[in-house]
Structure 1
Amino acid sequence: MRGRQLSRAAICLMTAATAASTTACGSGGEAAVRPPAPPAGDVAAHRDGDEQAARKAALDAYSGYLAASRTASRRSDPHAPELSRFLADPLLTRVRVAIRETKEHGAMRIGTLTSDPTVTAVSLDSVPATVEIQDCLDATGYRLVYVKDRRVVPGSAGKRYLATATATRYPDGRWLINSGAAHRDQPC
């Protein structure tokens, strides 16, 4: 009988000790509280949502860049404030120099530039995050003309060609186009 009482006492002590240690680990100030890990589907959905948001922001910046550069070119204003809303260096400086040089030669751009951009790559893990854009620009209705008489500058006829650009997310959260190239030798 005494043996049973000792084993019951031992079981009670072990149970009490186990309960006390479990409670102590979870209630102390030094214990790390971790939220439950989201299900794998939630992580993928969040990642997909971030990627879609980046695509949209990059395409918005690209469209803004094209519109701002057309407006600045039409006004022959290389320092148009809307340029810096959508562009960052080194592309911002290249666009400003091109507009200034066109102005110095007595010319300006008029007409319509048609764009059909698509995102070709999204890299949210790179520092900074980037989105690559490919576009088929139709410049057949976009003319370089002399300011004086609006005659078309010889050799400046537009055509359809491939263009590429990179949108980069800056520390303030804005997506800006900071590099781009017109591949006039590659029709689309």
Structure 2
Amino acid sequence: MRGRQLRRWSTCLVVAATVVSSTACGGGDDTSAGTAAADAAPARTDRKTAELAAGKAALAAYSGYLTASREASGRSDPHLPELSTFVGDPLLTRLRLSIRQAKRNGAVRTGKLVSDPAVVSVSLDTVPPTVEIQDCLDATGYQLVYARDQKVVPGTRGTRHLVTATATRYPDGRWLISAGAAHQDQPC
């Protein structure tokens, strides 16, 4: 009977020692390594969450930019308030100049854009923080036409091509599309 009790005690001690050593991450003075690893996991999670949120906000700004620019171009209104809701300088100034030029020539944009954007990179450590977006924009149904007769302006037929855009977080916390380029020589 005494032998069985000793075995039970030794088994309990072995189990207890195993549990204590595995929960202490090696025990002794190395607890700072365990704490650092534990702190790094939430930091990585917080970082990933912040990057996902930034990407989502940037894509929302990009979608708003496409909608507002299409509406402003269709009305020949370079000062449509929605433009400044989604677009920041220097792109805002370029966009307004383009709409103003079309208006001077009696042209408006009509039709539909088909967009399929994706976040390419998120840079939260830059000043200001930025998100790069890439899109395969289908502008084949989006045309520049003369307002008086709706005839297509020669040489302005839309294509399906690569578009890149940069969303920037401004000091007030808003994500605005601040730069963009149409790569019409790169079909997608």
Letter paired with 1:121:
S
Shift of 1:156: 1.2
Shift of 1:39: 2.6
Alignment of 1:97-112 (within 5 A): 97-112=97-112
Alignment of 1:43-58 (within 5 A): 43-58=43-58
Q: Which runs of 5+ in 2 are unaligned?
A: 1-34
Q: Which runs of 5+ in 1 are unaligned?
A: 1-35
2: CA distance, partners of 1:155 / 1:129: 38
Instruction: Please tell me the root mean square deviation across aligned C-alpha atoms, in Å.
Output: 1.2
Shift of 1:40: 2.0
Q: Provide the residue aligned with 2:158 in structure 1.
A: 158
Letter paired with 1:156:
T
2: CA distance, partners of 1:81 / 1:54: 23
Shift of 1:149: 0.8
Instruction: Tell me the SS of whatever aligns to 1:120.
Output: strand
1: CA distance, partners of 2:155 / 2:167: 31
Q: Deviations over 1:62-94 (max 9, x none)?
A: 000000000000000001110000111100000
Shift of 1:145: 0.6
Q: Provide the residue aligned with 1:115 in structure 2.
A: 115
Q: Provide the residue aligned with 1:88 in structure 2.
A: 88
Seq. identity, %: 67
1:145 aligns with 2:145: yes
Larger-Rg structure: 1
Corresponding residue pairs, total: 153
Letter paired with 1:179:
A
Instruction: Tell me the SS of whatever aligns to 1:63.
Output: helix
